[in-house]
Amino acid sequence: MTAPGGLPGSAAYGQTTDVDPYPVRLGSRYHDGKPGQRGKDWFGSVTGFQPPGSLDFHHVIHVTQLRARVDAHIHYSLEREGDGTRLNRWLVLDFAMPLVLRPLRRAITSSFDRENVRTMAALAAYAEASARKKADPAGERGSQLRRPFPP
């Protein structure tokens, strides 16, 4: 099963599938990345869930070209701020890789950085659209979202 309303794909990310149990809750597991492409997918779980605005994930990604294992912990929170929504995301990466290859960690972290900006932009667009819909179901007024990242 693919998660409905998910993030559009990119070079590093295809889709999230096999979410179980669904709807998402604490302990839900999922198949992420590019399921179906050997070496470009990973499995993860929801490690924190506090509706309506906080969600934590954990997954391990194997980067075979660099003989690296990346243990990723990701947190999202959406909080009211004035008329808008403050969007926060933090990411903790723990690397296990041969010492001689560690200078190449930047190649991995830059990929995470690009995905972080893309994910935050998509989440911001979703939050803005949801806020507009709630504030004005007829679509006559807009809302603000304070973005703690570059557009």
Alpha-carbon distance of 133 to 77, in angstroms, equals 20
pLDDT for position 143: 42
In the block, residue with structure tokens 């893309």 = 118
pLDDT for position 150: 45
Nearest to 16 by CA among 29, 37, 31: 31
Architecture of domain 17-135: 2-Layer Sandwich (3.30)
**Exposure on the CB side of residue 24, measured as CA atoms within 13 A:** 25
Beta bridge pairs of residue 149 = none
CA torsion, ordered 60, 124, 86, 83, to nearest 10 deg: -160
61-99 as b/e: b if 16+ CB within 10 A: bebeebebebebebebebeeeeebbbbebeeeeeeebee
Question: How far is C-alpha 79 from the chain's CA centre?
Answer: 17
Regions in the chain scoring below 70 on pLDDT: 1-15, 35, 39, 136-151
The answer to whether the peptide bond before residue 52 is cis (omega within 30 degrees of 0) is yes
Q: pLDDT tens digit string along 12-46?
A: 566 677 888 888 899 999 887 776 777 677 889 99
